[in-house]
Amino acid sequence: MSVKVLEPHQLTMTLNAEPIDGQHKLNTSWTLWYDQPSNESIPYGSNTKEVYCFGTVENFWRMYNNIIKASDLVCMSSYYLFRKGIEPKWEDAQNKNGGRWIHYCSKTMKNEGIEEKWLNTILACIGEDFPSSELVKGCVFNCKKNQIRISLWVGEHDDSKAVKLIGSKFKSILDLDQEKIVFHIHQDSVDGRFFNVISL
């Protein structure tokens, strides 16, 4: 049976996120957001739309199996998956004191397991599989002109030990060997400073 692939804006009206008896509830609910490219000059974040909120394993798979795969997103579009109530912005109260681990890969790797890396990142987030998992606020898939970025957002950067343990787990999930991942503090990025970076 083939699955109809829906545009993210269509999905909002199609799926029902209400838990059904017998489903497997997640520790917290999560929200998928989608940022689509625009030719207009508009403020940052104006095109970021909430697509779907889910709180069970079953509703996650209903969503995942009915949206465009991240590896098929058009250039300059993004998926954001965050805990319910947290907006995918550095300025959000849950994010402003944190940072993000980033995996950069070239467009030539688009068909070399990138969808699996993204899915495994999502599953680790919603399954609370990271050390100090409460610090993990969400994950992002950015499709840029010349590269793809998968990032993991952490709510606090001051706990360097926890941040590094989370980063090590993230690198393992991505199945990276020689490639590095880097950690940027959100506020440094806002201020245009990129020297305070951790790499693993």
* pLDDT over 50 at 96, yes or no: yes
Kindly report which listed range (16-25, 56-65, 132-141, 183-192) carries the lowest average pLDDT score: 16-25
Report the percentage of the chain scoring pLDDT > 70: 79
DSSP labels for the chain? Answer: ---PPBPHHHHTTT------TT--EEEEEEEEEEE---SS---TTTTEEEEEEEEEHHHHHHHHTTB--GGGPPTTEEEEEEETT--SSTTSTTTTT-EEEEEEEEGGGTTTTHHHHHHHHHHHHHTT-STTGGGEEEEEEEE-SSEEEEEEEES-SS-HHHHHHHHHHHHHHTT-SS---EEEEHHHHHTT---SEEE-
pLDDT in tens, 159-176: 999 999 999 999 999 999
- Tell me the pLDDT tens digit for each residue of 32-66: 999 987 666 655 556 899 999 999 999 999 999 99
Please say if the pLDDT value at position 6 is more than 90: no
- pLDDT band of residue 145 (cuts 50, 70, 90) is confident
Q: Domain 8-85+95-199 sits in which CATH superfamily?
A: RNA Cap, Translation Initiation Factor Eif4e (3.30.760.10)
- CA–CA gap between residue 65 and residue 138 (Å, rounded): 20
Give residue limits of the domains in the chain: 8-85+95-199
pLDDT of residue 177: 85
Q: pLDDT at position 111, please? A: 59
> For the chain, what is the radius of gyration of the CA atoms?
16
Q: Give residue 43's pLDDT.
A: 58
Instruction: Provide the whole-model pTM.
Output: 0.86
CB 163 within 8 A of CB 183: yes
Q: How far apart are CA 57 and CA 43, in angstroms?
A: 35
In this prediction, residue 14 carries a pLDDT of 47
CB burial class (10 A; 0-12, 13-18, 19+) of residue 53? middle
Residue 82 pLDDT grade (very low, low, confident, very high; cuts 50, 70, 90) = very high
Average pLDDT of every residue of the chain = 85
More confident position, 16 or 158: 158
Q: Report residue 101's pLDDT band, with 50, 70 and 90 as the boundaries.
A: very high
State the average pLDDT over residues 135-156: 95
Judge contact between 146 and 176, C-beta under 8 A: no
